[in-house]
Structure 1
Amino acid sequence: MDETTEKRKYRVLEEHLNKLTKTEISLDEQEQKRYNNYLGEVLKRFVPAMKENDPLFDCTFKRFLYAGSSYENLKVGKPNEFDINLEFKLPSSDFEITDDREPGYVEVLVKSLDEKEKRRCFQNFPDGETKLRKSWLDDKGFLHRSKVSVWMQGVVDKAMKALGTIANLEILRSISGPAVTLKIKQTFEEGEGKEEEDGELVEFSVDLVPVFVFSRNEWPRNMRQPNDVTSPESQEWCIVPKPPFNRTEVTFWRLSFYAQEKTIMNNKHSMKKALKLIKLLRDKENWKNLSSYYIKTVFLWEITRQEEDFWSQGNVGFIFMHMLKRLKCNLKEGKIPLFWNEEVNLLVARSEAELQGMSNRLTKIIKKIDDKLEECPELILTFYRRSEDAVQNLESSPPSLGSSQERFSPPRTSQRETPRVGNLQTRPSPPRSMSKVTSSLETPKKLSEGSQYSGESDKKNNPRSTDSTTPSAPVEDDDERIDWRTVEAVIKIGAFAGAVFAAGAYLMLRNAQRQAREQAKNNSSSDNSSNTSNKSSD
């Protein structure tokens, strides 16, 4: 089937996907503004405090840069998580970058600073170079990932101690992989108002990630060159303190090309909408190990294959289905190549069974949508109803029969095998009304220190073990999902049973009314006889 035919075929999905975007994905502008204001207040106070309390930070800090899904316009869910890159510049111009030991990663050897660089960088910090080598480098002069992370934690702790409370905000610090995470919650003193106008207290998190920035002239030799796909203004690149999968060396730093990726994805509105819809589906299916960066990378590769008009407005249904099929193929093959270096497989840490389970599930979703496309295009909405709470509460909430629209309910499990999440046996959620598509998002956790490649939008701990306790998508049999004939038969039986019940109730009511009338008539006759007898006696 050619592209034009495919676009016509999936045009019927447009209305339902737009509705889904509006109800489940689109962020409330006022709420977004409210969170951004608090974030701005925190950064306005926090960054100067870090500079004041650590001379090395003050001398080497370049700027902070908003990163992650929120600022790529790819955020799904509440705007309460933010990623901030704290960019540093090496004070020495004499350093060596090695990128041939591990694809997608580099090592940086920092050599001695000359007198001019010492005066320029550490004018008011005589022990600057000594402090730098102690806090950042190993004995051989290589940039040490763990040392930098520990130093960053100390800088944040000193700033927090100096600041105290910021604008009635309580701030707690934790560690999430390469990031120092600030958990921020709005608090009030006794006697003050306890609620905002909308009745909800502000609570959000900020990931502060230390990154080192390099220029276009220092671009790694083994990576895709930026002039192929990026604009001149986004030529810088950086390194992030994340190790390769299954490697323990503390001198490896992960390459990051956030600015270039953002440029590549600009002005492709239908693409961003389709990407967010796939992320939302991922959340509903509870595929925690399918990071947002993996999905984003599938789209980056597709951008290089397609012409600009492929992503034009009005093609969301076609793009969504096209990219869902692409993702399914990647999962089936067990490989999503890093956009900047094809030697790196982003799925290397995922088990074959887990990938096959996700691929099988996508195959079934695509087939169901295609089979019912003309008859019931709104079927696509049912795949966004899955919720962990509903799964857990199924035992106490038996499913009920509803209207004919509710026939297309979340998939049932096979009688032969019930899917498992870790060691917990689960069942799908009961049907819900088609008029409400309730949001039930679950934000992926941050990748741990030992994690494989992931984007700035996924820095939380993400379990990697593939033992029996690791949540994984089940490999599904053909009859583990909806059997439409059985569903329709159940509905007919339910309707018949309802009619029989109603008829029985009606007959009982009529019988009760008849008995009441007869009783009243008997009572009236008894009263008349009594009156007649009394008159005769008189």
Structure 2
Amino acid sequence: MSVNQGNKNITNLDSLLTYIYRNYIQIQEGDFRLHYRVFDVICRQLREKMKEVDQFYNYYSSTVQAMGSHYDRLRIKKPDEFDIFNVIVLPCEVVNSPDFEIRGKEAAFVYIILGEECRRVLKSGPNSVRNKKVLDWVDDCGYLRRSLFSDWFKSVVARALNKFKSNNSHVAVFQVDGKKYTVALSNAGPAITLNIESMDGFRMDVDFVPALKFSEKLWPPSPDYVKIPKRCRKDFWMVVPKPNKYRKEAVKARSWRVAMPQQERELMYNSYNLRQAIRLRRIENDFKILGSKP
């Protein structure tokens, strides 16, 4: 890699990093446009089918939220991996119950507890036919178990995908702008991954991650958790069904990982050098994996 030393626009380290990024690292717009188009069409169609096959998902799925390196504008390779939060809210009868609690004990992890009154309303309340699905994810002590929630979400995706036409290998087929793409499933931790391919070698993986959304009023109180910085407040926060791997199995089953992509983005706002440093660090790590030096 060489940089034109005569370039008058390069006057300091900041401008040098910008030059390197734009000329050697930045994803080409054409590549991104194609991959995003395929991702957008397939995910929209899949979510509509998910709403058809599951009453709870249809009523309580609020939106999808991009996250990860694309969302933070840190991606340095081809745009062939996307991370998406499928945002779901719990019934208002749950979160407004006096014995509903979110308890924080370890850094970045919380426990979600539904008391007896909360569970009673789910069983016999006016929307019990729909809302009692939540009870399938609760253990005998009232803890919301992340693995049961995650299994339910993965089943919704699988059932929805079965509604699409399939090829001779029984893999679902989608059409995007007249071109066929197959979509298979694989598991990746709390996510279910859509493996998208076409006959001409196109490949892209989309991690579908279920996330529960809560009001900031339910943020765990101090001293367990500090308050969200004022400039990072978004009126809500989320959790994903990712276990705390450093805890015993019984505790793992009840732990939920805090996820705050919007708040994290606010922390990086107006800190351009931070983004560049992260991008260059990723390049360095890639070269180490390849056994080369940048």
TM-score (norm 1): 0.46
Corresponding residue number in structure 2 for 1:285: 288
Residue 268 (structure 2) pairs with residue 261 (structure 1): no
Conserved? CA contact 1:35–1:202, under 8 Å: no
Amino acid at match of 2:83: D
For the residues of structure 1 that align with 2:74 and 2:57, how far apart are their CA atoms? 31
For the residues of structure 2 that align with 1:118 and 1:43, how far apart are their CA atoms? 33
Corresponding residue number in structure 2 for 1:359: none
Q: Secondary structure at the match of 1:226?
A: coil
Conserved? CA contact 2:119–2:135, under 8 Å: no
Corresponding residue number in structure 2 for 1:68: 68
Corresponding residue number in structure 2 for 1:161: 162
Conserved? CA contact 1:226–1:235, under 8 Å: no
Deviation at 1:13, TM superposition (A): 5.1
1:97 to 94, 102, 123: 102
For the residues of structure 1 that align with 2:133 and 2:29, how far apart are their CA atoms? 45
Does the C-alpha gap of structure 1 residues 229 and 66 become closer, same or farther in structure 2, counting only changes over 3 Å? same
Deviates more, 1:17-26 or 1:148-157: 17-26
For the residues of structure 1 that align with 2:277 and 2:77, how far apart are their CA atoms? 15
For the residues of structure 1 that align with 2:15 and 2:268, how far apart are their CA atoms? 24
Q: Kindly provide the CA deviation profile for residues 61-87 of structure 1, in whole angstroms up to 9, marking residues without a partner as x.
A: 111111111011111211110010011
Q: Kindly provide the CA deviation profile for residues 13-60 of structure 1, in whole angstroms up to 9, marking residues without a partner as x.
A: 556544432344201011101111111101110111101001121122
Corresponding residue number in structure 2 for 1:46: 46
For the residues of structure 2 that align with 1:18 and 1:238, how far apart are their CA atoms? 33
For the residues of structure 1 that align with 2:104 and 2:18, how far apart are their CA atoms? 44
Residue 191 (structure 2) pairs with residue 179 (structure 1): yes
Conserved? CA contact 1:183–1:206, under 8 Å: yes
For the residues of structure 1 that align with 2:230 and 2:135, how far apart are their CA atoms? 37
Deviation at 1:113, TM superposition (A): 5.7
Corresponding residue number in structure 2 for 1:112: 119
Corresponding residue number in structure 1 for 2:170: none
Deviation at 1:279, TM superposition (A): 1.8
Corresponding residue number in structure 2 for 1:149: 150
For the residues of structure 2 that align with 1:145 and 1:13, how far apart are their CA atoms? 46
Does the C-alpha gap of structure 1 residues 43 and 279 become closer, same or farther in structure 2, counting only changes over 3 Å? same
Q: Secondary structure at the match of 1:162?
A: coil
Q: Secondary structure at the match of 1:156?
A: helix
Per residue, is there more strand in 1 or in 2? 2
Amino acid at match of 1:104: A
For the residues of structure 2 that align with 1:131 and 1:16, how far apart are their CA atoms? 55
For the residues of structure 2 that align with 1:15 and 1:252, how far apart are their CA atoms? 44
Q: Kindly provide the CA deviation profile for residues 285-325 of structure 1, in whole angstroms up to 9, marking residues without a partner as x.
A: 23xxxxxxxxxxxxxxxxxxxxxxxxxxxxxxxxxxxxxxx
For the residues of structure 2 that align with 1:103 and 1:82, how far apart are their CA atoms? 26
Amino acid at match of 1:270: N
Amino acid at match of 1:97: I
Does the C-alpha gap of structure 1 residues 15 and 89 become closer, same or farther in structure 2, counting only changes over 3 Å? closer
Aligned length: 261
Per residue, is there more helix in 1 or in 2? 1
Q: Secondary structure at the match of 2:62?
A: strand
Deviation at 1:229, TM superposition (A): 3.5
1:131 to 97, 110, 133: 133
Q: Secondary structure at the match of 1:73?
A: coil
Identity of matched residues, %: 26
Corresponding residue number in structure 1 for 2:3: none
Deviation at 1:88, TM superposition (A): 1.1
For the residues of structure 2 that align with 1:213 and 1:15, how far apart are their CA atoms? 40
For the residues of structure 2 that align with 1:212 and 1:51, how far apart are their CA atoms? 17
Q: Secondary structure at the match of 1:127?
A: helix
RMSD between aligned residues: 2.4
Corresponding residue number in structure 2 for 1:368: none
Amino acid at match of 2:219: W
Does the C-alpha gap of structure 1 residues 113 and 229 become closer, same or farther in structure 2, counting only changes over 3 Å? farther
Q: How does 1:39-438 map to 2 (within 5 A)?
A: 39-91=39-91, 92=94, 93-94=96-97, 95-100=100-105, 102-110=106-114, 111-112=118-119, 114=121, 118-119=125-126, 122=127, 127-134=129-136, 136-164=137-165, 165-167=173-175, 168-187=180-199, 201-221=201-221, 222-230=224-232, 232=233, 234-247=234-247, 248=249, 249=251, 250-286=253-289, 387-388=290-291, 410=293
Gaps of 5+ in 1: 1-9, 188-194, 196-200, 287-386, 391-409, 411-436, 438-538
Q: How does 1:21-40 map to 2 (within 5 A)?
A: 21-40=21-40
Q: How does 1:464-479 map to 2 (within 5 A)?
A: none
TM-score (norm 2): 0.81
For the residues of structure 2 that align with 1:20 and 1:227, how far apart are their CA atoms? 33
Corresponding residue number in structure 1 for 2:168: none
